[in-house]
Chains A and B, each alone.
Chain A
Amino acid sequence: MGPLAPYEIISANTNMLLAFVIGIGFGFVLESSGFSSSRKLAGVFYGYDTVVLKVFFTGAITAASGLLFFSLFGWVDLAMVYVNPTYMHSAILGGVVMGLGFIMGGFCPGTSFCGASIGKIDAMVFIAGLFIGVFVFGEGYPMWEKLFMDGFQGYPKLSTVMGISDGVFTLLMIAAALGMFYVGEWAEKKFPQPEY
């Protein structure tokens, strides 16, 4: 039966309204988990606060398992669910540039909107930077168009590429996440920092 919008079970306008509702939930969970604080976000890279690791990977494995179950129950047609394309070069380089931005700015786009919504001025300035960065990319596009389009490999799932089922891959992802949570809990005790 699902996904609802691509199968036109709900109208395009209803889909937009639900986007707003989903966004409220998204923002609420991010803020209440502490993602409105750059200090908590950057903590993962020094070990003193690993909330990013815990929330991010718990979220990813919950959604991945949920999609598998929904597909098993016949509730969602995975063929109609959007899978991000793989452009090898820009995927790596884009990630590297974003990683630098993360450690310098202390936010990512979603979390900066959360921070700004409760009055963090550093988050507002980060958002201003985001607009500049996107604008620069758009204006200089001919310069990096080739790089942007290089190494296109379609829309592969990593499980398919590795030759294992989605279920086994998700199980491995859960095991990896549990291992990281263990390291995270250990790091928070090992590298404490005072709150300010």
Chain B
Amino acid sequence: MTTKTKYLNPYIGGVLLGLILLAANFIAGRGLGASGAIKSTVVAAVKETAPTHYANSTYYQEFEASHEKGKSPLNNWLVFEMMGVIVGGFFSGALAGRLKLKTEHSPRITSKRRLIFALAGGILFGFGSQLGRGCTSGSALSGMAVLSMGGIITMAGIFGTAFLFAYFFRKNWIQ
């Protein structure tokens, strides 16, 4: 038998994840998130490179209005949290001996196909996270913890759709 990759027991992982989410709510009065940090970065980049366009766009101005005046869009709770995620993920991977540059894909497909689908999936997820006001972390997971109706609907939308369409993308994942 080949050596199996060692991962944490998923139920223990889940309890720990729940406690971290609880800590976020207790400390910051808000849940975890990921797509918000990407939005902050995109907004900051547009503000820096195309200030006139930035000033004339409803979307960016709505962000500006919801943000503390005179501060960078990057001065944001989610941006700091996501920097932590990269550090925490790296530490876990280092301790478990999983640090390795590689493209993970099913033996049935090429690396190129995997990367094309990864890019397309990322574009859809990025777009959908804006439409849904948060992604799997901010809308679905954190929404469930506070019993938010919108969050639970989005959660059902994400998992339900992925289940429905899994058949069409099976070549990417199963043999």
Residues of chain A having any CB pair with chain B under 8 Å: 2-6, 10, 15-34, 36-40, 42-43, 45-46, 48, 51, 54-64, 66-67, 70, 75-76, 80-88, 90-123, 125-139, 141-142, 144-145, 147-148, 153, 155-159, 161, 166, 169-170, 173, 181, 193-196
B9-32: which have CB < 8 Å to A? 10-11, 13-32
Can you report 10 A-B residue pairs in the complex whose CB atoms are below 8 A from each other? A23-B83, A95-B153, A97-B132, A101-B127, A110-B85, A132-B123, A132-B126, A144-B131, A170-B147, A193-B174
CA separation between A170 and B58, bound complex, in Å? Answer: 39
A58, B17: Cβ atoms closer than 8 Å: yes
Question: Which one of A5, A24, A39, A58 has the highest number of Cβ atoms from chain B below 10 Å of its Cβ?
Answer: A24
CA separation between A96 and B129, bound complex, in Å? Answer: 10
CB of A7 to closest CB in B, whole Å: 8
Query: Which of chain A's residues have a CB closer than 8 A to the CB of B172?
Result: 42, 104, 106
Not counting A95-B160, A195-B2, a sample of 6 additional A-B residue pairs whose C-beta atoms are within 8 angstroms of each other reads A20-B80, A22-B27, A29-B20, A70-B22, A97-B128, A126-B122
CA separation between A122 and B163, bound complex, in Å? Answer: 21
B86-111: which have CB < 8 Å to A? 86-94, 96, 98-107
Q: A95-B154, A99-B157, A113-B86 are in contact. Are A121 and B17 (CB under 8 A)?
A: no
User: Interface digits, B129-170 against A, CB 8 Å rule (1 contact, 0 not)?
Assistant: 111111111111111111111111111111111111110011
Chain A interface, >50% SS class = helix
Residues of chain B having any CB pair with chain A under 8 Å: 2, 4-5, 7-8, 10-11, 13-35, 38-39, 41-43, 46, 57-60, 75, 77-78, 80-94, 96, 98-107, 114-115, 117-166, 169-170, 172-175
B77, A19: Cβ atoms closer than 8 Å: yes
A64, B147: Cβ atoms closer than 8 Å: yes
Query: Which of chain A's residues have a CB closer than 8 A to the CB of B19?
Result: 62-63, 66
User: Smallest CB-CB separation from B169: which chain A residue?
Assistant: A103
Q: Which 7 A-B residue pairs are closest in the complex by CB-CB distance?
A: A105-B121, A95-B157, A129-B122, A23-B84, A94-B132, A133-B126, A58-B14
CB of B23 to closest CB in A, whole Å: 6
Query: Which of chain A's residues have a CB closer than 8 A to the CB of B28?
Result: 3-6, 15, 18-19, 22
CA separation between A92 and B152, bound complex, in Å? Answer: 10
Query: Which of chain B's residues have a CB closer than 8 A to the CB of A30?
Result: 17, 85, 88-89
CB of B93 to closest CB in A, whole Å: 3
Question: Which one of A109, A129, A158 has the highest number of Cβ atoms from chain B below 10 Å of its Cβ?
Answer: A109
A119, B154: Cβ atoms closer than 8 Å: no
Kindly identify which residue among A2, A17, A90 contacts B132, using a CB–CB cutoff of 8 Å.
Answer: A90
A158, B141: Cβ atoms closer than 8 Å: no
